[in-house]
Structure 1
Amino acid sequence: MINNQFFKYVQLLHEKYTRKPEYNLFCVLRSESDEVRLHSRFLSDLLNPKGSHNHHNAFLKLFLKHFKENFQLDLTQEVTVDNEYKNIDILIRNGKTAIVIENKIYASDQEKQLSNYYRKMKDEGYENIKLIYLTRTGYEPSDQSTDELPDKVKEKALTLASYEHDIYEWISKCTEVAARDAPLREACIQYLDIISKITNKIENQDHMEELKTLLLADSNLARFPDLFSAYNEVLVDLQFDIWNKIAEGIRQEFGELHHDSITEQESPKELVRNYVENRRNSKYYNVNVKLNGYENTYILVEQDHHIYFGIYCENGSNSPEYKEIAKKTENFVNSYRWNSMPIGIYVDPQINFKNLTPENLNYLKIEANRQRYADFIVNMLKEITTALE
């Protein structure tokens, strides 16, 4: 029976089996979500027969074996593994074969991204081209990424891979191979911890078995769909409240919102529900308002996986508005420049709304925290607009 005692027991199991965080060099040196400088670099080095691990092609063999039905390389010939070659996260080349690995942990797809990578390899003369779309849980690429990719390639040459299962299993096998190589073994173990964290994976099998037993007791399993629905509705309520707080703060400081802002739509809460339930085309919801003094330029708060804010220039990075704003805001710390945003800043704390951690949930459930979250955005935007005066 699902009651307060049920949840207390789940909490006791969590406390019993969850290890206290240990020192992790990856977390110290890089953000656990850094696709390029952490994940792609580490994975490409393991895959590279000439990598610093000094285990030749042992790890590459394990990788190919894991995907044995999809990839075949002639390991009697030279294999090259590159990181960020022509913007490809990881590229494995061997004879006339090219394996493109697109690494997507939190970043969104770019227009025709996989299509462009496939074309680049075709242009270089590769005949057997395979695409691996690597994400946390193995979801499909967006239509905009595969636009112009031939249907035959999508069906035969595109593989969906996940950190949760594929990379975790592969790295686990790499750890066994590196058993007598203490530094490499510990690096693999620490990397498995990173994977568990970004995928909310339960590592301890005894923990999983006790949770399964608990679900199968009484009518708990039959009631669980109701609980999951209620969980999603709580997420909708919390995120909808954040958007309302952001919108109200922006409206008070900068004037009436643009008509395409999420809170100005006919059913804004339904849009938030679409986002929570990962429905198609449910990203890039925003609140925006015209920035006075600049042509086709807006104050913008937008959500992909995280929420970020700044100034959006409709005319792009070559416009005089973009260049002027970029120059005036170049001294803002922890800020970024993107294609149409001369300044963009992630909200502090950085919350990945597509992969909420227990810490995130405990933070978001407190109304005062949600207000502080919105206030941070509005106050920083006030600083940015002051710098533009």
Structure 2
Amino acid sequence: MIANNIPNYSNLLKRVKGLIAYQDQLAKAKGETFNVFDILGLQTNEVRTHSAFIAELLNPAGSHMMETVFLDSFLKRLNHQANFDTKSATAIVEYYIGPINKDQTIGGRIDILLRDGTNQTISIENKIDAGDQDKQIVRYYNYKSDRNTVIYLTKFGDEPSEKSKGNLVKGKHYITISYQNDILDWLEDCQALAYDQPIVRESIKQYKILIQKITHTLNNEEDKELNALVMQHLEEASYISTKYHKVTNDLKQKFRKALLEELQSKIIDGDTDLKGFTLESKKDITQVHAAIWLEHDDSKVSKKWFGIESFSGKGNGNGVLYVGLFAGQGANLSESDKEFDRLNIYWPHHRKLSFENQTIYLSNDSILKKMIKEDLLKKMVDGCTTQIIDFIKENRRCIEA
């Protein structure tokens, strides 16, 4: 059956490719390839880009000077406007709700907190590529649960993981929304509402283009045509979708295996900077914190070792690939260690890995496409190996017992 349908698969892919090419031509003609978020490398930064921009639009006292109109539009789409006083509302990014308790059910930070004058709150958990934290949605829900609405925002409207939501029920304890549909539709509303405010309108447009890019969403007319194509070829589209995930996971696995082998060869060849280290792949490539660990005999005493994450394209740092110093439970940090580029409590120091002046995100198709070519894959592995060894050489003292 598959062999007989190959012409249909080929035709479907060609037509989709044509739609994408046409949209690219339109973008160039309209000057839409110039995007400040792309230029500044902020495409997937949850806090500095997405939470900050969305919260600014939602804030009635925001610099857009449009008062409550954007917040009203957002709540209308959620069918939540009757329960929230927008005129007295504030929007806060990374709102601290106290230390996380022992069973992880209370405390932490809320990505975006909306609060009105009656102390009604809306808590938005914003996920681009990062993985869920243990009991994260539970902690959101337990924050003023009787007066708090919890929203889980992801690229495509995914459900939170079991470890994050616990026994909470969608629709009863939290709401899921997506960038691909809900946020894009809301941004369309915001653009229309800001018709006479050119700077605000164009800033929203740039952000909307960024969301279209990271969610692989075409413009309205092209998107309608793509929907029609998929409906005409549901079986083929389903097969291609399944194959896409398999192929991209295979590429990630191939890259991790090649990098592991290259590092191992350095150890065998007697590289002094890697002397005494053992290497091990950690977690399946589809899991959030898929990694390579570099452990030394001293690590058993110091409880610190080196790691490379995340080969899944999801996890800490919004899914960026980095080499870092991992501090386990009971590890001590010196005063100089505290000056490091801290990622979180477990990673006191890290450095992003890059290739051809581009930070490596293994959720990024442009990076994965380069891995298809053996020569580029080899260059990427060699470049990452050099960066990893340099980091270890600079910071090896940190794991010494």
TM norm. shorter chain > 0.5 = yes
1:118 aligns with 2:141: yes
Alpha-carbon distance between aligned partners in 2 of 1:58 and 1:184, rounded to the nearest angstrom? 13
Find the counterpart in structure 1 of residue 164 from structure 2. Answer: 145
Task: Map 1:326-365 onto structure 2 (within 5 A).
Answer: 326=337, 330=340, 335-348=341-354, 349-354=358-363, 356-357=364-365, 359-365=366-372
Alpha-carbon distance between aligned partners in 1 of 2:238 and 2:51, rounded to the nearest angstrom? 37
Task: Map 1:46-85 onto structure 2 (within 5 A).
Answer: 46-68=57-79, 70=80, 72-75=82-85, 78-85=88-95
Find the counterpart in structure 1 of residue 282 from structure 2. Answer: 261
State the Cα deviation string for residues 180-219 of structure 1 (Å, max 9, x = none): 11111111111110110111111141x23444555567xx
Task: Map 1:245-284 onto structure 2 (within 5 A).
Answer: 245-252=258-265, 253=267, 254=274, 257=278, 261-262=282-283, 271-272=284-285, 275=286, 282-284=287-289
Contact 2:23 2:218 in 1 (8 A): no
Contact 1:257 1:287 in 2 (8 A): no
State the Cα deviation string for residues 109-129 of structure 1 (Å, max 9, x = none): 22332333333435xxxx321
Deviation of 1:179 after TM superposition, in Å, equals 0.4
SS class of match (1:312): strand
Amino acid at match of 1:131: V
1:323 aligns with 2:344: no
Distance 1:53 1:211, change over 3 A: closer
The more displaced of 105-114 and 222-231 is: 222-231
The TM-score normalised by the length of structure 1 is: 0.80
SS class of match (2:92): strand
Amino acid at match of 2:282: S
The TM-score normalised by the length of structure 2 is: 0.78
Gaps of 5+ in 1: 263-270, 276-281
Task: Map 1:189-200 onto structure 2 (within 5 A).
Answer: 189-200=205-216
1:166 aligns with 2:179: no
Find the counterpart in structure 2 of residue 235 from structure 1. Answer: 248
1:244 aligns with 2:257: yes
Deviation of 1:259 after TM superposition, in Å, equals 5.8
Distance 1:248 1:259, change over 3 A: closer
Find the counterpart in structure 1 of residue 4 from structure 2. Answer: none
Alpha-carbon distance between aligned partners in 1 of 2:168 and 2:140, rounded to the nearest angstrom? 15
Deviation of 1:314 after TM superposition, in Å, equals 2.0
Alpha-carbon distance between aligned partners in 2 of 1:76 and 1:106, rounded to the nearest angstrom? 30
Amino acid at match of 1:376: G
1:17 aligns with 2:28: no
Alpha-carbon distance between aligned partners in 1 of 2:86 and 2:237, rounded to the nearest angstrom? 53
1:288 aligns with 2:288: no
CA RMSD in angstroms comes to 2.9
Find the counterpart in structure 2 of residue 105 from structure 1. Answer: 128
SS class of match (2:150): strand
Gaps of 5+ in 2: 1-6, 97-108, 268-273
Q: 1:129 aligns with which of 135, 139, 148?
A: 148
Alpha-carbon distance between aligned partners in 2 of 1:71 and 1:13, rounded to the nearest angstrom? 38
Contact 1:336 1:345 in 2 (8 A): no
Alpha-carbon distance between aligned partners in 1 of 2:41 and 2:304, rounded to the nearest angstrom? 33
SS class of match (1:169): helix
Find the counterpart in structure 1 of residue 323 from structure 2. Answer: 309
Count, aligned residues: 352
Question: Percent of counterpart pairs with the same letter?
Answer: 27
1:299 aligns with 2:313: no
SS class of match (2:348): strand
